[in-house]
Amino acid sequence: MIRVRGEKDLGIGAIYLALGLAGFIVARDYSFGTAGRMGPGYFPTVISSLLMCFGVVTTAKGMLRDGEPIGKINWKGLTLVTLSVCAFGFSLETAGLIAALTVLILISAAASERFRFEIRATIGLLALVIFCVAVFVEGLGLPMPILGDWFK
């Protein structure tokens, strides 16, 4: 008989497996390419495969080692983090990367009970936005507007 010893590990492992499998299924419709000349399906396939590997390891850990039971679901955090990702996606083209990242970070930070909007948080927010703009737009050349139509 199979005995679950770590409910939390088993649960998160199942989530990793499900998300990895979903990403893998979606990515198979795109061309893979090679490591030197990556196609649009390369990155999602690799990330999904890694996620499924983590899922197998974490699920096995939940079956073999004692662990914590699944506790109360943090609905506020789950809702705010999901909302922040959706707000980022909807505002990226119209507001631009700077505004979309700011909205993403502020809404998701509100999910934490310990978050306080202080000078350190403001500096961290600015540093993260500058870093993301430098890496993704300037460094990697991703076609994302830094400032969207709302600010032009």
Number of CB atoms found within 10 A of residue 94's CB: 13
Please tell me the predicted confidence (pLDDT) of residue 48: 94
Q: How far apart are CA 10 and CA 55, in angstroms?
A: 9
114 and 130 Cβ atoms separated by less than 8 Å: no
116 and 106 Cβ atoms separated by less than 8 Å: no
Please tell me the predicted confidence (pLDDT) of residue 1: 63
Q: What is the dihedral of CA 8, 11, 12, 13, to 10 degrees?
A: 120
With 0-12 CB in 10 A as exposed, 13-18 as middle and 19+ as buried, what is 21? Answer: middle
Please tell me the predicted confidence (pLDDT) of residue 95: 93
Low-confidence ranges of the chain (pLDDT < 50): none
Please tell me the predicted confidence (pLDDT) of residue 36: 77
Please tell me the predicted confidence (pLDDT) of residue 96: 92
What are the sequence ranges of the domains in the chain?
A: 7-64, 75-151
Residue indicated by tokens 């943090």: 74
Please tell me the predicted confidence (pLDDT) of residue 130: 95
